[in-house]
Amino acid sequence: MSKTAAMAVFVVTYSYTADAEHRSAVRPVHREWLGTLPNLLVSGPTDADGAVLVFEGASAAEVDATVDQDPFVTDGSIVAERRTVGWTVVGGSLKDAFPTA
């Protein structure tokens, strides 16, 4: 992870629809897509029906444009709700690994 003044950290949260079987069928292509993203810092499912994705980016709009390409999003029936927020990392053992705005 590079620390660049022009970059910031953004957290994207997904809430999934109830169709876990369909989500499981699309998951391999979703995970393959995640593996192509150089600005994705970390991601994974939550213990509820959702996920968290943490990106480095210049703006929320840039991150949203990336996430718009996620197979879970383009499918149209997996992600019920999506939210993108800026996140300022100020503490914790990994804080120096994240870019600062």
pLDDT per position as a tens digit, 23-82: 999 999 999 999 999 999 999 999 989 999 999 999 999 999 999 999 999 999 999 999
Q: Is 79 a domain residue?
A: yes
CA 28 to chain centre: 16
Q: Is residue 96 part of a domain?
A: no
Note whether residue 77 is domain-resident: yes
The answer to whether position 2 is within a domain reads: no
φ and ψ of 11, to 5 deg: -110, 125
Question: What is the residue range of 20's domain?
Answer: 8-88
What's this model's pTM, rounded to 2 decimal places? Answer: 0.89
Q: List the CATH number of the domain containing 43.
A: 3.30.70.1060
Whether 82 is covered by a domain: the verdict is: yes
pLDDT by residue (tens digit) across 60-69?
999 999 999 9
In a domain, 97, yes or no: no
pLDDT tens-digit map of 2-20: 444 468 999 999 999 999 9
What residues contact residue 92 under an 8 Å CB cut-off, 6+ apart? none
Could you give the CA distance from residue 68 to residue 56 in angstroms, rounded to a whole number? 16
- CA distance readout (Å), 55 to 17, 18, 21, 22: 23, 26, 27, 26
Q: Please indicate, yes or no, if residue 72 is contained in any of the structural domains.
A: yes
Question: Domain count of the chain?
Answer: 1
